[in-house]
Amino acid sequence: MMELKYPKKVRLGDITVRDGFQHEEHFIPTEAKLFYMEELILCGFKRLEVTNFGNPKGMPQFKDADELMKQLRGSKKLAKAGINWEEIELTAITIREQAVDRAIEARKEGWGPDRILMMVSTDEQHHFANSGTSLPAYWKEAERCIKKAADAGIKMCGCVSTIWGSPISGPTKLEDAVEFSKRWLDIGAADLEHADHDGSAPPNQVYRYYSMVLDAMPNTDLHVGHFHVTRGWGLANVLAALQAGIDIFEGTIGGLGGQPANFIDGVPVTGTGAYYYKDPNVVGLTTIEDMAVMMDEMGIEIGINVDRLLELGTMMEKTIGRRLRSEAILSGRIPKKPREEFKRKGLAKVKEKLGEKPDQIYPDGWPEKAQYKWK
């Protein structure tokens, strides 16, 4: 009998407080951000994105970046729980050099991130919308930033976007994304985030791309799967990447996230310009609760307290103020024992009246095994 092949242990990262909240059009209080960061760590997450060190004029959701990082590092709640910070990796987004410098200063002061992220898109128009500069200029900037971040003890994640297509320029080539990934490693990136920021990746192309990636760069520690659900393919793409051999994934509570908001509390902001879709709520990431439940049911070791995570998903809907994408917070986990409250009374009497044994499931006289054979 054939079985699906996939890793038996997966590392899950949560990026709710950064990627998830960046699409929200109201400011999420720092206290709420801190609460979710603490709770996610207590759920068992070791890899988390905290904030964005970019200019808050363009992304006012992260105007509290410094304060949040300081409060998280000094959390009494986590200290009381015995959390070992050596086992936790906190990431901040640093698209441009000024943000990298800010992260380095924070690190020197003792509360900065362990890891930062810079991003290139294989579509230069998309890249320009996110960074404000050309690809050649950005590559040189990234090379410079990786070196000084390493000198400060900070790892750099190199992100590659528009792998499966661009919301601006349309189709892109997988081969370009593989080449971009190699270029990141050439200039010193510690790992790679392969991002479907637009939900443009059909599962067969996800499998093809990650197979190409692992053929060229076989160390799975280098590769992070990042999927959006704009077209509803999130978990299908996670499964395709699992089958290709990827064992690091990230997502958000409730599937929050997407293109940075261009309004915050009623005030227009630059963000990344006009939304790519008429309904901004169609965007979002793979739901971390559903991903965790699926992997747990598949027998994959994830190291996450799934029940506690589902409780967080319910809380998040109150924080955001609307129904989010998670199916698992409504349906729960697959039952592992009989649910007596749903059993209909009287079955035993019916079977007795019909002359059937209590455990009988086929009529008397039927053969012990089915006789069907494919001809």
pLDDT of residue 272: 72
Segment 88-125, tens digit of pLDDT: 999 999 999 999 999 999 999 999 999 999 999 999 99
CA dihedral 162, 21, 41, 118 (to 10 degrees): 40
- Is residue 291 within 8 Å of residue 235, measured between CB atoms? yes
pLDDT of residue 279: 77
In a 13 Å sphere around the CA of 88, the CA atoms on its Cβ side amount to 23
**Prediction pTM value:** 0.95
Rounded Cα gap, residues 164 and 198, in angstroms: 9
Domains and CATH numbers, the chain: 11-331 (3.20.20.70)
pLDDT of residue 273: 80
Segment 230-255, tens digit of pLDDT: 999 999 999 999 999 999 999 999 99
Residues 6+ apart with CB under 8 A from 114: 88, 89, 90, 91, 154, 155
The alpha carbon of residue 227 and the mean position of all alpha carbons in its chain are separated, in whole angstroms, by 7
- Going through the chain in order, the beta strands assigned E by DSSP cover 11-14, 47-52, 89-93, 115-121, 155-161, 191-196, 223-227, 248-251, 263-264, 267-268
Q: Is 263 helix (H, G, I), strand (E, B) or coil?
A: strand
Segment 54-70, tens digit of pLDDT: 999 999 999 999 999 99
pLDDT of residue 308: 98
